[in-house]
């Protein structure tokens, strides 16, 4: 029998990475619990809490009525009394029903109380489009929440980041809005079994490149990887930065990349007005204007509600081909 054997890194789904992060933190800290619609008996609408009811029981994995405003308020009051709730929304489209609690209470109580009440709470669930779900179930609210002081906003793009960032979010003493994607829950990648966390507020360079910096986050970053593979065949090298955290936002990593590539395209699955792409564009023009050899381009959804038609949705969505066109434009290639 050999003394050493190679151990292949285990691959797990995004949903399992989320479940592991929550379960590990609940084992570590008895003040952590999960609450939301169908999180317990049904194992989560997307099976992101599978097995947790069996391990932790109904006092720590709590099914709620269809009342986002109500159970978000319960969570905030619980956080004020020393607990660390994780509030799951079946979709962030439904978080609009709780936005008064999130914006006017969770985000503000620490300051309004003179620091007496930290609010260690995580609001998590899927955001943006998930196929043909039409206008009211395909909305990206990342920039809405990132606009509010007092909140931290996290949007992971893969299982490894999701687990490490969620563990940090649960341990944070401020409210964190943690936004996933229904279309990523089945994604697989290698995730360590050992304990690890990823600090909030740090972007990650997912692909080194020399010609154009592409900044993105969440599931739409997959379009950047596709575009990079296509453009590489033509000798065009993209550097891809995954923001991961939108508030606080890591401007410096983007600045340092733009200093090397001298060109920037921002890719985001959201409406253009008031988007994260708009903010990044403004800040990079302010912090790195002298390094830019071309105007910054942004690739977003069309400025309309999401259509239901598959053909219209494809025209609305910020695709790899749209990103390729934007890259050609900043490189002045026809």
Model confidence pLDDT, tens digit, residues 144-186: 999 999 999 999 999 999 999 999 999 999 999 999 999 999 9
Please answer whether residues 20 and 167 qualify as being in contact, where contact means their C-beta atoms are separated by less than 8 angstroms: no
Mean pLDDT throughout 55-59? 98
pLDDT, position 122: 98
Q: Which residues contact 76 (CB under 8 A, 6 or more apart)?
A: 101, 105, 106, 109, 119, 121
Question: Is 137 marked active-site?
Answer: yes
Mode of pairing for the β-strands spanning 11-13 and 264-267: unpaired
E strands within 76-155? 84-88, 122-126, 152-154
Q: Is the pLDDT of residue 85 over 80?
A: yes
5 pLDDT tier (thresholds 50, 70, 90): very low
Q: Is the pLDDT of residue 7 over 70?
A: no
Neighbours of 194 (CB within 10 A): 5
Q: Is the pLDDT of residue 65 over 90?
A: yes
pLDDT, position 9: 67
334 pLDDT tier (thresholds 50, 70, 90): confident
pLDDT, position 8: 57
Tell me the C-alpha distance between 9 and 4, whole Å. 15
The mean pLDDT of the chain is 96
4 pLDDT tier (thresholds 50, 70, 90): very low
Q: What percent of the chain has pLDDT over 70?
A: 97
259 pLDDT tier (thresholds 50, 70, 90): very high
pLDDT, position 131: 87
Please answer whether residues 125 and 18 qualify as being in contact, where contact means their C-beta atoms are separated by less than 8 angstroms: no
Model confidence pLDDT, tens digit, residues 274-320: 999 999 999 999 999 999 999 999 999 999 999 999 999 999 999 99
Domains, the chain:
11-190 (3.40.50.970), 204-330 (3.40.50.920)
Cis peptide before 248 (omega within 30 of 0): yes
Model confidence pLDDT, tens digit, residues 97-148: 999 999 999 999 999 999 999 999 999 999 999 989 999 999 999 999 999 9
pLDDT, position 1: 44
Tell me the C-alpha distance between 211 and 224, whole Å. 14
Look-up: residue for tokens 């308020």?
Answer: 73
pLDDT, position 239: 98
239 SS3 class: strand
Mean pLDDT throughout 31-57? 97
State the Cα torsion 12-15-17-19 to the nearest 10°: -130
Return the DSSP state at 180.
E
Catalytic annotation, pick one of 20, 25, 37, 68: 68
CA 320 and chain centroid, separation: 19
Q: Who wins on pLDDT, 7 or 327?
A: 327
Catalytic annotation, pick one of 137, 268, 269, 279: 137
Mean pLDDT throughout 252-273? 98
pLDDT, position 108: 98
258 pLDDT tier (thresholds 50, 70, 90): very high
């Amino acid at each position: 029998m050999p003394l050493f054997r190679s151990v292949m890194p285990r691959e797990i789904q995004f949903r399992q990475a989320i479940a592991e992060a929550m379960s590990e933190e609940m084992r570590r800290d008895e003040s952590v619990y999960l609450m939301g619609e169908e999180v317990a008996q049904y194992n989560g609408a997307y099976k992101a809490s599978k097995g947790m009811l069996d391990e932790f029981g109904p006092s720590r994995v709590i099914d709620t009525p269809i009342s986002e405003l109500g159970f978000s308020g319960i969570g905030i009051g619980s956080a004020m009394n020393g607990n660390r709730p994780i509030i799951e929304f079946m979709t962030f489209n439904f978080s609009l029903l709780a936005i008064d609690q999130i914006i006017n209470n969770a985000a503000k109580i620490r300051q309004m109380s003179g620091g007496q009440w930290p609010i260690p709470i995580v609001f998590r669930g899927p955001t943006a489009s998930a196929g043909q779900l039409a206008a009211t179930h395909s909305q990206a609210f990342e920039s809405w929440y990132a606009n509010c002081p007092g909140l931290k906003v996290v949007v992971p793009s893969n299982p490894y980041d999701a687990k490490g960032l969620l563990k940090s979010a649960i341990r944070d003493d401020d409210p964190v809005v943690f936004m996933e994607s229904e279309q990523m829950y089945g994604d697989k990648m290698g995730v360590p079994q050992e304990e690890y966390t990823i600090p909030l507020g740090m972007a990650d360079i997912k692909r080194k490149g020399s010609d154009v910096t592409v900044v993105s986050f969440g599931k739409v970053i997959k379009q950047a990887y596709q575009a990079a593979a296509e453009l590489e065949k033509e000798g065009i090298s993209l550097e891809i930065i995954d923001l991961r955290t939108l508030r606080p936002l890591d401007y410096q990593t983007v600045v340092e990349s733009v200093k090397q590539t001298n060109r920037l395209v921002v890719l985001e699955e959201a409406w253009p007005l008031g988007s994260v792409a708009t903010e990044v564009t403004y800040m990079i023009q302010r912090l790195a204007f002298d390094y830019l050899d071309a105007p910054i381009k942004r690739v977003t959804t069309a400025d309309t509600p999401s259509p239901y038609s598959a053909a219209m949705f494809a025209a609305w969505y910020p695709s790899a081909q749209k990103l390729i066109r934007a890259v050609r434009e900043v490189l002045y290639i026809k």
